């Protein structure tokens, strides 16, 4: 008799172990994706601010019509500008989604000198 095959119990154990690993790994992957998306929003915010201030330095008018500003203002932050006074303000929106909470936390840690404050140019 040739015994080169797996028994049913061995296959069931492998399936159970794979299920346990998947149950542990999937929540971690979901959190990692949310954190990456939040980091992308914060990087977009920094790009928006840099582009707007560069435009203001050149022609005394903020430019917030970039793709980076559109993505940021459509989600978790509000960027308001006043070309007369030269004030750029970044404010966290009231969005309480997990993504925006993560983005606000990250931005307040990395861009604490920018978010929630007026900037005169």
Domain annotation covers residue 113: yes
Domain annotation covers residue 1: no
Q: What is the pLDDT of residue 34?
A: 83
Q: What is the mean pLDDT of the chain?
A: 80
Q: What is the b/e burial string over 64-76, where b = at least 16 CB atoms within 10 angstroms of the residue's CB?
A: bebebbebbbebb
How many domains is the chain partitioned into structurally? 1
Question: Closest by alpha carbon to 54, among 68, 64, 45, 42?
Answer: 64
Q: Report yes or no: 72 and 44 within 8 Å, Cβ to Cβ.
A: yes
**What would the two tokens of residue 20 be?**
């346990």
Domain annotation covers residue 50: yes
Q: What is the pLDDT of residue 120?
A: 54
Q: What is the pLDDT of residue 116?
A: 55
- Whether 121 has a pLDDT exceeding 80, the answer reads no
Report the alpha-carbon distance of residue 54 to residue 74 in Å, rounded: 22
């Amino acid at each position: 008799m040739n015994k080169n095959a797996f028994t049913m119990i061995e296959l069931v154990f492998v399936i159970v172990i794979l299920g346990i690993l998947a149950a542990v790994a999937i929540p971690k992957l979901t959190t990692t994706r949310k954190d990456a998306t939040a980091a992308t929003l914060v990087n977009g915010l920094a790009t928006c601010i840099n582009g707007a201030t560069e435009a203001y330095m050149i022609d005394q008018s903020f430019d917030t019509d970039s793709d980076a500003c559109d993505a940021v203002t459509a989600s978790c932050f509000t960027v308001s500008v006043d070309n007369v006074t030269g004030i750029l303000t970044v404010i966290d929106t009231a969005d309480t989604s997990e993504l925006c909470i993560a983005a606000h936390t990250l931005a307040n840690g990395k861009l604490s000198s920018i978010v929630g404050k007026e900037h005169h140019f």
